[in-house]
Amino acid sequence: MNATAHIIDGKKVSAEVRAEIKTEVERLKSSGLVPGLATLLVGEDPASKIYVGSKHKACQEAGIVSFNHTLPKDADTETVFQKVQELNRDPKVHGILVQLPLPSQIDSEKILTAVDPNKDADGFHPTNLGRLISAKDMKEINALGIPIPCTPLGCMVLIEKTGVSLAGKNAVVVGRSLIVGKPVAALLLASHCTVTIAHSKTQNLPAVCREADVLVAAVGRAKMVEGSWIKEGAVVIDVGINRSAEGKIFGDVDFDSASAKAGWITPVPGGVGPMTIAMLLRNTVALAKKSHNARG
């Protein structure tokens, strides 16, 4: 049996990515292009306010200009829609992020689809998700500059850091959400993996997971994936963030038993989490460059 798995340090990788972005932003500024990200928060949800605040802090550190827009919690769909349209028209804004969840009275689908696909910093616009699915491989995705949802993109960067070649590998994604499961499956497919998407209705889930050379767990159930489910030497990416009653944070994978079998594993916290904001910055810079090139 393996010794303990190699830890994929998301804090370290995200710090490297953010340093690269800072250098890139300085270069762009010297040529007259200042990348800009606008966030739109509706209401006073404490967790959402913290997330938005951390995104603005990250922008400031990278030299990206950020615009913070907040609407009252009782705002209606039309008010939010008009604010999105205003941001779409603003040439200083290259990326738009609508902080989710939106209050229940708002038509979230209408708001998310109102964002200009060329300013979709989150990569959730149906047009961009469709382009992601349609692309034949990662080379085409990168060449077209398709914005990719931040957490799935972060997962792929962490997998890349292991040095494991993905072509021909069996990948299993546990979870089928539009935020993580489906996009990360599309990215693994574009990296030439054979991909299985497993979920709550999957029969004999442990056996399915044991086939995985690469296992991505994104179900939102603490320690659901046990060490006995892990193939010897597999790459295990744990997207879960689950809080216990005492406030402790656990992933979807039972880290202690899984790390005895895996070749590589992400910890929680300190794995995928730090990558999400780093990828948001990367998307914003890429959208700014694409916009600049389009204007010629």
Active site residues: 55, 99, 122
Q: What is the pTM of this model?
A: 0.95
Residue 267 · residue 4 · CB < 8 Å: no
Residues 107 and 141 in one domain: no
For residue 65, what is the domain's CATH number?
3.40.50.10860
Residues 142 and 252 in one domain: yes
Q: What is the pLDDT of residues 107-146, one digit of tens each?
A: 999 999 999 999 999 999 999 999 999 999 999 999 999 9
Residues 166 and 110 in one domain: no
Cis peptide bond N-terminal to 267, omega within 30: no
Query: Is 280 contained in some domain?
Result: no
Structural domain boundaries enclosing 179: 132-274
Task: Average the pLDDT over 48-59 and give the result.
Answer: 95
Query: Is 236 contained in some domain?
Result: yes
For residue 225, what is the domain's CATH number?
3.40.50.720
Please identify, among 75, 96, 118, the residue that sits at the C-terminal boundary of a domain: 118
Residues 60 and 113 in one domain: yes
Query: Is 49 contained in some domain?
Result: yes
Count up the domains in the chain and report the number.
2
pLDDT value at position 1? 46
Cβ-count burial 218-247 (b if 16+ within 10 Å, e if not): bbeebbbbebebbbeebbbbbbbbbeeeee
Query: Is 7 contained in some domain?
Result: no
Task: Average the pLDDT over 1-23 and give the result.
Answer: 91
Averaged pLDDT of the chain: 96
Residues 43 and 136 in one domain: no
Residues 148 and 238 in one domain: yes
